[in-house]
Structure 1
């Protein structure tokens, strides 16, 4: 079932949003300030391309507290929000609205909304199998 959902997802906006995450990774890699977020953006591009069967979870709950789950993680999230998070979230919101117009797109609209929240505040979170 996850395979079918992931194929439909790619067609209904997943490919475009994964490309957006890869563009964010490229822009982050080109700047010295954004280099720490470039790898995470590539991981998120993979998650955005094939989200069914995985879920985002707080890293503190999965592996315990670390440098990204405390104050530095909050600062990293604020920097991410300003540099890339808002426009990735906006892209996911627009894709959610377009998917919500159709009945078959409602589950995909919900997935885009979850990814929009993740796009705004990704530091200190990780991906785990469902």
Structure 2
């Protein structure tokens, strides 16, 4: 089902939006200051092209899975870049994806595509420090992070 959803999504707009995000990433990459936004735009392009079977997680949830918080902009600097993103592109993108998601959800066939629009709306607001991964990896990372948090609170 993921493959069919991704193929339909890609043909009817996913390829176009992914290319726009990659163009935005190239523009952000022209300045050294824009590199964290470049990474965020690339993550958006990955999700925009093939959203079915993908989820978004914070890099802290991926600790021990190949990424650590030091490999992405996090903390105060990440907050500043996310605010910059929100004020330049994030709010407009979020509202666009929300409107499109509502329109898709008006039909039964469009509901899965509407849900993907809502997922894209969520990451379009605050993408710096987030990564697009498979649903299975996201679930495993969240479970592992929850177990670590539980263990710390139980012993502390």
Structure 2 length-normalised TM: 0.71
Equivalent residue, structure 2, for 1:94: 99
Structure 2 runs not aligned, ≥5 long? 136-156
Measure the CA separation in 1 of the matches of 2:114 and 2:54: 16
Equivalent residue, structure 2, for 1:9: 9
8 Å contact kept, 2:86–2:125: yes
Count how many residue pairs are aligned between Structure 1 and Structure 2: 130
Structure 1 runs not aligned, ≥5 long? none
Please tell me whether Structure 1 or Structure 2 has the larger radius of gyration of its CA atoms: 2
The structure 2 residue matched to 1:107, chosen from 105, 112, 118, is 112
Any residues of structure 2 matched to 1:110-121 within 5 Å, and which?
110-121=115-126
Q: Which runs of at least 4 in structure 1 moved beyond 6 Å after TM superposition?
A: none
8 Å contact kept, 1:48–1:115: yes
Any residues of structure 2 matched to 1:1-130 within 5 Å, and which?
1-30=1-30, 33-63=33-63, 64-66=68-70, 68-130=73-135
Change (3 A) 1:38 1:22: same
Structure 1 length-normalised TM: 0.83
